[in-house]
Amino acid sequence: MTADKNNTIALILAGGRGRRMMNSDKGLLLWRNKALIQHVTEAIEMQLDRIVINANQHHEQYQSLNYPLIADSVSGFKGPLSGIMTAMQYCNDAGYLLIVPCDCPTPPADLFRRLARAINASDNASIAIANDGTRDQPLFGLYKTSLLAELKLALANNHNKVLQFVMEHKPVIADFSDQPEAFKNFNQPEDML
C-alpha cells in the first residue's frame, strides 16, 4: 500500500510525564504565546487532514483543541511506543501513522511528503524516519499500522525503546539535513528561552 494523505493519520505524542521539564506536561507549556501542542497541530494540519493526540493527563485541556484524544491503553507511562500502539488500535482504518512529538514546535513543513516519498520508494519498509543531518529522529516517522502485533509483543516483553524497535525493522531514512533546526525539541526549562 502506498502512503498518501487519504490513508495516513497524524499522531501527536503528548503522553509523557515531562520529568526533565520539572514534571510539567510539555505539550501545554507556553512558547511564543501558544502551547507547544498548538504549534505542532498548526504545522501538521497543513500536511494531513486527520490528527489524533495521545495524552495521558490533562485531558480537558487537550480536548479543547478539538482533535480526537486517546490515552495509552497500557497504564504507567510506558513511553512513546505505548502511545503509537494505542493509536494503531484506535486508527484501524488507516494504513499509516505520521508520528510527531509535542515538544518540537517547528516540525518541517514537508515532513509527511518526504517521509511518504521515502517509504513509497522502498520495496518493503514498514517505517520511514527523518534524519536531521546529525542523528536519526524516530519520533518523526511514518509507520505502517500493520506493525501493531509486533508493537504489542515488544511492549508485552518490556521492550519500549523507540529507536531499538525502529532499527529492528530496518527503516528507510529521509534526509532533512537541510533543516536541522526544525527538529529542536524542548526537554528542559532552559530550552524554552
Which CATH number is 139's domain given?
A: 3.90.550.10
What angle separates helix 148-156 from helix 80-90, to the nearest 10 degrees? 140
The predicted structure's pLDDT at residue 24: 64
Residue 3 within any structural domain of the chain: no
pLDDT value, residue 22: 47
Instruction: Name the grid cell of 8.
Output: 495516513
Domain assignment of residue 178, yes or no: yes
Instruction: Provide the number of structural domains found in the chain.
Output: 1
Domain holding 135, by residue range, is 8-192
**Which of the residue ranges 73-77, 91-95, 106-110, 112-116 would you say has the lowest mean pLDDT?**
73-77
Q: Which three cell numbers stand for residue 169?
A: 525493522
Has this prediction a pTM greater than 0.85? yes
